[in-house]
Amino acid sequence: MSCLVYYETSGKITGFVSRSSEFLQTAADEYEGLTLLSDIHPEENHYVKDGALADRGQKPGNAYELNFDLEQWELSLEIAQTIKWVQIKQDRDAEEFGTFEWGGYAFQCDEVSQRRIQGAVQLAAIDASMSLDWTLADNSVQTFTAADYVQIGQALANHVSGCHERGRILRQQIESATTETELEAIVW
């Protein structure tokens, strides 16, 4: 089996096909921009130079692209910023849906817990004399009053709002970053 490589004039490989050598040699002879290689399958770090497969070494990171004119890996700031934003959103979500504190108690605030807290706050608005037992993040149980639930709901809202405010600030920093070092300095 051989490999027929499709590539642009820059040397960027756009695709390849594995077939019998005879079939591929006919295709390579008929079309410009195709190179016939024997038993080699191109990888991300390969490109075509002077009709042969060339190796640029290992890609330094996910945000790097091969500059075919300079024949070297270069940081794509746009890709690096996108990767950093995805990481920050994951960190934001982990904090938002982790726990929050009120009155010295730690509450779970995953999506289900948030809905339950909102339900308790609504019940407190209907019945100011109510009290309910609540299982906390450490699995201990505490009884809270209607007034407590209103404050717990406010604490939850402040927690979620704070997570998103911090995310917006970090997003602005990511968009303003011009180097990989600046991006690496941005942490949750």
Mean pLDDT of 141-166: 98
* Higher pLDDT, residue 58 or 19: 58
CB 148 within 8 A of CB 103: yes
Mean pLDDT of 70-98: 95
Supply the pTM of this predicted model.
0.74
What is the pLDDT at residue 161?
98
Please, what is the average pLDDT of the chain? Answer: 88
Q: Go through 84-101 and write b for each residue having 16 or more CB atoms within 10 A of its CB, e for each that does not.
A: bbebbeebbeebbbebbe
Q: Which of 47-51, 61-65, 67-71, 108-112 has the highest mean pLDDT?
A: 108-112
What is the pLDDT at residue 66?
83
